Amino acid sequence: MDGNGNGNAAALDALTARARERARAEAVEIVDMLRFRDAELVRTAGIESPMVRLVERSAIALEIGQAVGLSEGQVTARLAAADRLRERTPYTWRAFRDGRVDWARAREVSSAALLLVHESSHRRLDEAVVGYAATHTVAELRAWLKRFVARVEAEEAAARAEAARRERTVTVTHVDDAMAWVNAFIPSHQAAAIDARLRRTPRLDGDDRTRNQLRADAFVDLLLAEDTPATGCARTDIGVVIDADVLVGAEPGPAVADDGTWTVPAEWVLEHLDPDDTFFHRLLVDPITRDVLAHEYVGRFAPDVLATAISFRDGVCQAPGCLRPARDCDLDHQVPHPRGPTRGSNLWALHRRHHAMKSHRTLRWILPSGRTVDAEPATHGLTPDIGSDVEHRIARLLVDQGDRQAP
């Protein structure tokens, strides 16, 4: 958006207002569904016959679904998600009622709350999530919640992971036209290593295969060939973030992918590391400047070690809402070179399209409030930034005092 687009700015303000209205309308619909359900439960409680009472209560979801155009299963899922929000995360529930968080985001928070076991964890989630949910996309929020659950209840998350790992399997399904699907249910860190290996398969001169065809052929070669052809992938870099106390075994915790898309128990990664093949990047990141390395390089292009460190630090493209992995992005100078130095604090990962937008001065961050700010790194971390103890208590009090009947 350019500097003289006042009309466009007003249009964006209007869109932001419409989004808030839509979120409030979603909240009103969910609250009305809860009211109807609760009123029907009260009414049917007076029915003497247990069979008749059961039949009439089983029809509640059907009646709501007919009224709003949803299936019984969809209605049941929405009511269950709303109940969890209202009971376990009252501050998030109030944010949903106020239109600050829409139903898509509220539903993701409710799903995360279902995984958490301890009441203290629900409180930590409620105090931290609203600020992030209100300023990030649903996909970003889903990844944030995955990391939050893995960290705040590390032992429980590890137990679920171990149970899931016992179900690992590979299936082969033959379909039409002489083709088949090979599906593998395996731990995330192993799948990431396979993906990285396939992604780095080089294209030879004169090779007209598409990228997908190249990956498929490399996959078959890796599985079947006794002498795997040279792929240029002897070293595969997989970035994971492990807290220092977890790394030394003092505390349980997860290993989080550099792009935040998956987590596994840290011991899964550590127990299979080959000391001759594994290189640890110990990144000391300044909390204010986000500088990775104090050393400053004279040239325009960062050396490999700095580029790898920044890729691990950022994880994904730093444009808000973009989840393109940093390894597939350009390494851009926030302040253009040579005026801006080649060092960690001035470099960030930008998807090629966002890089071009920035170069042409059209890249601006438009916040959910409608306010436009200069480009700055997206926040993909776990820093809680909204939801004080007082606000949380007020939200809890409002729910306990009859939020279900509130207008």
- pLDDT tens, residue by residue, 55-90: 999 899 999 999 999 999 999 999 999 999 999 999
- Same structural domain, 126 and 77: yes
Residue 81 covered by a domain: yes
Mean pLDDT of 217-234: 66
Q: Name the residue range of residue 296's domain.
A: 281-385
Higher pLDDT, 273 or 187: 187
Cα–Cα distance measured from residue 300 to residue 285, given in angstroms and rounded to the nearest whole number: 22
Cβ atoms 312, 293 nearer than 8 A: no
The mean-pLDDT minimum among 2-16, 199-213, 329-343 falls in 2-16
Q: Is the pLDDT assigned to residue 300 strictly greater than 70?
A: no
- Cα distance between residue 403 and residue 142, in whole Å: 27
Q: What is the pLDDT of residue 5?
A: 55
What's the whole-number mean pLDDT along residues 265-283?
65
206 within some domain: no
* 306 and 381 housed in the same domain: yes
Does the residue 30 lie in any domain? yes
Q: Is the pLDDT of residue 154 over 80?
A: yes
The mean-pLDDT minimum among 215-229, 258-272, 287-301 falls in: 287-301
Beta bridge partners of 255: 264
Same domain flag for 326 and 398: no
pLDDT band at 14 (very low <50, low <70, confident <90, very high): confident
**Most confident option among 158-162, 264-268, 288-292:** 158-162
Q: What's residue 203's pLDDT?
A: 81
In this model, does residue 371 exceed pLDDT 60?
A: no
Q: Which residue has the tokens 């979603």?
A: 26
pLDDT category of residue 204 using cuts at 50, 70 and 90: confident
Shared-domain flag, residues 333 and 401: no
φ/ψ of 184, rounded to 5, equals -125, 130
Label residue 292 by pLDDT band (50, 70, 90).
low
Same domain for 312 and 330, yes or no, is yes
Same structural domain for residues 396 and 381? no
| Distance (Å, whole) CA 170 – CA 231 | 24
Q: Are residues 28 and 75 in the same domain?
A: yes
Of 12-16, 230-234, 400-404, highest mean pLDDT: 12-16
Ramachandran class of 177: left when φ > 0, alpha when ψ lies in -120 to 50, beta otherwise? left
Q: Are 188 and 263 in contact (CB under 8 A)?
A: yes
Token representation of residue 68: 């709003």
Residue 181 has pLDDT above 70, yes or no: yes
| CA-based nearest residue to 349, from 318, 371, 383 | 318
* Dihedral, CA of residue 11, residue 12, residue 17 and residue 19, to nearest 10: 120
Separation of alpha carbons 228 and 326, rounded Å:
29
Is the pLDDT score of 339 beyond 90?
no
Whether 109 and 47 map to the same domain: the answer is: yes
Give the chain's mean pLDDT.
80
36-50, 115-129, 209-223, 383-397: which range is least confident on average?
Answer: 383-397
Domain count, the chain: 2
Strand partners, 325: 316
Residue 299 lies in a domain: yes
Does residue 171 fall inside a structural domain?
no
Inform me whether the pLDDT recorded for 234 exceeds 50. no
pTM of the model: 0.71
Backbone angles phi, psi at 356, to 5 degrees: -65, -40
Same domain, 398 and 359: no
* Residue 44 sits in the same domain as residue 78: yes
Which of 23-27, 120-124, 151-155, 336-340 is least confident? 336-340
Range ranked top by mean pLDDT from 133-142, 290-299, 395-404? 133-142
Asked whether residue 350 is assigned to any structural domain, the reply reads: yes
Is residue 268 assigned to a domain? no
How many alpha carbons fall within 13 Å on the CB side of residue 318? 23
44 and 25 share one domain: yes
From the centroid of its chain, how far is CA 196?
A: 20
pLDDT confidence band for 25 (50 / 70 / 90): very high
What's the 3-state SS for the chain?
CCCCCHHHHHHHHHHHHHHHHHHHHHHHHHHHHHHHHHHHHHHHHCCCCHHHHHHHHHCHHHHHHHHHCCCHHHHHHHHHHHHHHHHHCHHHHHHHHHCCCCHHHHHHHHHHHHHCCCHHHHHHHHHHHHHHHCCCCHHHHHHHHHHHHHHHCHHHHHHHHHHHHCCCEEEEEECCCCCEEEEEECCHHHHHHHHHHHHCCCCCCCCCCCHHHHHHHHHHHHHHCCCCCCCCCCCCCCCEECCHHHHCCCCCCEEEECCCCCEEEHHHHHCCCCCCCCCCCCCCCCCCCCCCCCCCECCCCCCHHHHHHHHHHHCECCCCCCCCEHHHCEEEECCCCCCCCECHHHEEEECHHHHHHHHCCCCCEECCCCCEECCCCCCCCCCCCCCCHHHHHHHHHHHHCCHHHCC
Same domain? For 342 and 398 the reply is: no
In a domain, 144, yes or no: no
> Average pLDDT of 330-348?
81
Using the structure block, give the residue that is written with the tokens 């959910």.
368
**pLDDT at residue 149 tops 90:** yes
In this structure, what token pair is assigned to residue 95?
Answer: 């944010």
